[in-house]
Amino acid sequence: MAKGIHSKKYRKAQQAAQRAQAAQQARREALEAIHQMQCPNCGARNTAAIEYGFPSEALLAEVRQYAGMLIHGGCEFWPEQPKFECNACKHGWR
């Protein structure tokens, strides 16, 4: 007997795809909120989040996908590094 397209594997795959899509939407909304933050240096509302870590293909793809809202800050990091950067004046802050 052939399984229908609504098999358990199909439903699990659909649920996983929905969770991934919801996570991506939440990430975009968070980055859009950061993008509207006011720069303490120049007052512009054109901010990007800085993501630190090894420049893997996944990270670089995410930086390309969210261009202007996400910046790769390098693979070395320490506690005092900035979390945000103004796209207008390049000022970084926490």
pLDDT (tens place) for every residue of the chain, 94 residues total: 455 567 888 889 999 999 999 999 999 999 999 999 999 999 999 999 999 989 999 999 999 999 999 999 998 888 899 999 999 999 999 9
Q: State the pLDDT at residue 1.
A: 43
Gap between the Cα atoms of 19 and 4, Å rounded: 23
Residue at token pair 């000022």: 91
Q: State the pLDDT at residue 43.
A: 96
Q: State the pLDDT at residue 5.
A: 64
DSSP category for residue 60: H
